[in-house]
Amino acid sequence: MPFTIAIDGPAGAGKGTLARRLADHYRLNLLDTGLTYRAVAYALIQHALPLDNVSAAETAARQVDMAKLDRAVLSAHAIGEAASKVAVYPTVRRILVEKQRAFARTPPGAVLDGRDIGTVVCPDADIKLYVTASAEVRAKRRLAEIESIGGTANFAEILADIVRRDERDMGRADSPLKPAADAHLLDTSEMAIEAAFLAAMAIVDDALARRNKA
Ligand code: DC
């Protein structure tokens, strides 16, 4: 199996930025697995189909093209919420997980981020990180992000959205969000992303040194 870094955590904890930094630094492929669930939700919304139409969601999942995941289109807040709803269906998950595993097997290896990477998608990953932050800190960051591009939003509404999404992602029966038993925990509540990156790098360098010795 090529070198794999699995990053899991709740929405807005900074795992996407961390994944990108690590993939750049170690020259690995990068997959934001959230985009695959978002692509399914987006397809249903485009066809005006309800999000609980499981057979349509399965068809959309089969049609997900890993080379054509368009972040600009899929990053809308409402699509994230919808993605969290279609992500509860085990058959949809199985189809997407197969595609994610094929991506991880592609040399030279990959950084994958999501909710179930260390527990389900790549349980044998070389490194597992669980990146978290308090819901309040995540809501503050999301608000700052929206304001930085000239938008406006309400802190209480953002916080309520985050709490609701956490509950759905952690509470579902299939592949709930949780740290793998052997994951390194990184709480970014009081940590800048640069510090989280340095901490993650130390963990990865250590694993690479051990792998090269073996
Ligand atoms: O990381 P994100 O916000 O783009 O993810 C959107 C939703 O997709 C998330 O709320 C739950 C689902 N998801 C999942 O169930 N498993 C993953 N590995 C990634 C995302």
DSSP codes of every residue in the chain: --EEEEEE--TTSSHHHHHHHHHHHHT-EEEETHHHHHHHHHHHHHTT--TT-HHHHHHHHHH--GGG--HHHHT-HHHHHHHHHHTT-HHHHHHHHHHHHHHHHSTTEEEEEESSIIIII-TT-SEEEEEE--HHHHHHHHHHHHHHTT----HHHHHHHHHHHHHHHHH-SSS-S---TTPEEEE-TTS-HHHHHHHHHHHHHHHHHHHHH-
Range of the domain at 132: 3-213
What pLDDT sits at residue 83?
Answer: 97
If you measure from the C-alpha of residue 1 to the centroid of ligand 1, how many angstroms do you get, rounded to a whole number?
A: 24
Atom 20 in ligand 1: which residue has the minimum CA distance?
34
Domain count within the chain: 1
In percent, how much of the chain has pLDDT > 90? 90
CA 11 / ligand 1 centre spacing (Å): 8
Q: What is the pLDDT of residue 24?
A: 98
CA of 37 to the centre of ligand 1 (A): 6
Per-residue model confidence (pLDDT) at position 212: 83
> What is the pLDDT, as a whole number, of residue 35?
98
- Cβ of 83 closer than 6 Å to ligand 1, yes or no, is yes
CATH number at residue 25: 3.40.50.300
Residue 77 confidence (pLDDT): 84
Nearest Cα residue to atom 1 of ligand 1: 34
Please tell me if the CB atom of residue 84 comes closer than 6 angstroms to any atom of ligand 1: yes
**Hey, what are 6's tokens?**
């699995």
Confidence at residue 197, expressed as pLDDT on a 0 to 100 scale: 96
* Amino acid 49: pLDDT: 98
Ligand 1 atom 15: the closest Cα is on which residue? Answer: 87
The ranges of the chain with pLDDT < 50 are none
Q: How close is the Cα of 208 to the center of ligand 1, in Å? A: 28
CB of 100 shorter than 6 A to ligand 1: no
Asked if residue 118 has its Cβ within 6 Å of ligand 1, the reply is no
Q: What is the pLDDT of residue 211?
A: 83
